[in-house]
Amino acid sequence: MRAVIQKVSEASVTINNSQVAAIKTGLLILLGIEASDDHTDSEWLAKKIANLRIFEDQNDVMNHSLLAIDGEVIVVSQFTLLASTKKGNRPSYIKAARPEIAIPLYENFIKQMENVINKPVQTGEFGADMKVGLINDGPVTILIDTKNKD
């Protein structure tokens, strides 16, 4: 799994001119799922993200996690995170999981996040044309790939 984590002061997802998700302080997580991913990737990634110390403490030092600040989360599926641009100018998405594999893993990741942070996670809609709005706080944007846990 590949995730782009953005610390936000607000974020939202709109589908067909209707807002389906909105949060204030927390994380917007863009999630790409590879065909080789499984439930252990979901579990590891959810714990890692929830415990990232990227929120400021009273001294403006990034010492607090999402858990510590009781922040909110939006998860948006994004197969384009698995794009390969090695050859030519047209990205290849061959590594991205097909929906029959990706949807259960996407749903499992959301459940794992909810379990770790002990609150509901808002989402976009898998496969939909979504408009994602955010105010990136910092800016802080982090890429995590479960295939590269070093």
Give domain status of residue 150, yes or no. Answer: no
Q: What is the residue range of 112's domain? A: 2-145
Q: What is the structure's pLDDT at 149?
A: 82
Give domain status of residue 88, yes or no. Answer: yes
Count structural domains, the chain: 1
Q: Can the peptide bond before residue 104 be classed as cis, meaning omega within 30 degrees of 0? A: no
Q: In CATH, what number is assigned to the domain containing residue 48?
A: 3.50.80.10
Is 58 labeled as catalytic in the residue annotation?
Answer: no
Give domain status of residue 89, yes or no. Answer: yes
* pLDDT band at residue 49 under the 50/70/90 scheme: very high
* pLDDT band at residue 36 under the 50/70/90 scheme: very high
Contacts of 45 (CB under 8 A, 6+ apart): 1, 3, 109, 112, 144, 146
Q: What is the per-residue pLDDT across 98-147, written as a single tens digit (0 to 9) for each?
A: 999 999 999 999 999 999 999 999 999 999 999 999 999 999 999 999 99
**What 3-state class would DSSP assign to 5?**
strand
Give domain status of residue 22, yes or no. Answer: yes
How far out from the chain centre does Cα 3 lie?
Answer: 5
Is 109 labeled as catalytic in the residue annotation?
Answer: no
Q: What is the per-residue pLDDT across 56-112, written as a single tens digit (0 to 9) for each?
A: 999 999 999 999 999 999 999 999 999 999 988 999 999 999 999 999 999 999 999
Mean pLDDT across 2-15: 98
Distances (CA, A) of 79 to 33, 89, 97, 98, 101: 7, 18, 8, 9, 12
- Of 78, 112, 122, 146, the catalytic one is 78
> What pTM, to 2 d.p., does this model score?
0.95
- Of 79, 122, 123, 146, the catalytic one is 79
Is 19 labeled as catalytic in the residue annotation?
Answer: no
Q: What is the structure's pLDDT at 90?
A: 92
Give domain status of residue 124, yes or no. Answer: yes
How many CB atoms sit inside 10 A of residue 65's CB? Answer: 16
Give domain status of residue 47, yes or no. Answer: yes
Give domain status of residue 68, yes or no. Answer: yes
